[in-house]
Structure 1
């Protein structure tokens, strides 16, 4: 009876679904990174034979696409918000929050959608695009301008989260910012401004950097909004 109980714990009763497989995959990636994910480990995580996994997802590439899809599905855009700039700022904050909650997934968010033709991407990945286009065209932007804005916003967001997740401190025990960042390795005559900004570089604040970048981006976009009176 003990053996049966152990086997039952290892192979839970109930159907395995695509969603349950992807949830398990996301947990593995969150814990061990993309390189820690394999079809064998995924099968072990859901307590099934690997062939069961292949019925839902044919290979690791499909699993990675699905993980990116799951995370993108957490990004909500209110296309009917009358304040388009505030809504874009909310979307940006939400994207950063999701990225920081799943830092090991960020490379997938940046690269997986771009490696697939737009019409073949999961709807969860394309939906933010559609909703942002709706938001901006309702605000008065042309469709082409709305698309440019979407690309500019997400280009900024991808770069921001990748930058925020990078380790910039080389020697955390040092109190001198130049030494902390390893800037003493750079010739002072060639990089005087970089060394001068060492305190600012060492005091990096991801949330503040995001808001400052959005201030610059949204101010510029507001200036391009067509005047409805013309």
Structure 2
């Protein structure tokens, strides 16, 4: 039995040996590929080959996957007495490998940008008044804190813009039409909340940059609550 699907960016070929899969089984396998499809959406090439072998003597199924990406081939394999659990385990492991590969790619890209002098670091455009920032946090005064952190706003906005360009799938998952300025505000709000927990060994700009990803995750998990918080903070700044 051979099955192929090229209707999505992730092109799939399914081969079976010693068994036949029902339409319902194939549909269940398709549903398990949702996360993997999103992960490989930004690769120009993504070919998934799935092989399902039924061993009569062992009375189990051996599922093997190979995923061809741009410049990389990833493999997984799993055995189980039922097809679906073996396939699920393969795809979970494959998803982890894709995430690890994308992290390696990002590290390489950042190293190249750093060497070429084109990396957009978060850096202040003026002097940082650390004492005033600490005082604002101690007084629970976000407006003053935000005023003191204005020196980072332009650089932070630029970094967030480049971050979003690298992960276009994030924008499509946000329920509200969040602007870069909204994510900037979310980062500052989170910086204010966890200021006391920051590491003193990390430069302020690098610390702010580390808050971009968790800030976006917060927007994904609680969009209504975070959107309201951002808009409230923005209105307070204009008073």
User: So what's the TM-score if we normalise by structure 1?
Assistant: 0.24
**Higher helix proportion:** 1
**Higher strand proportion:** 2
More contact order relative to length (CA 8 Å, sep ≥ 6): 1
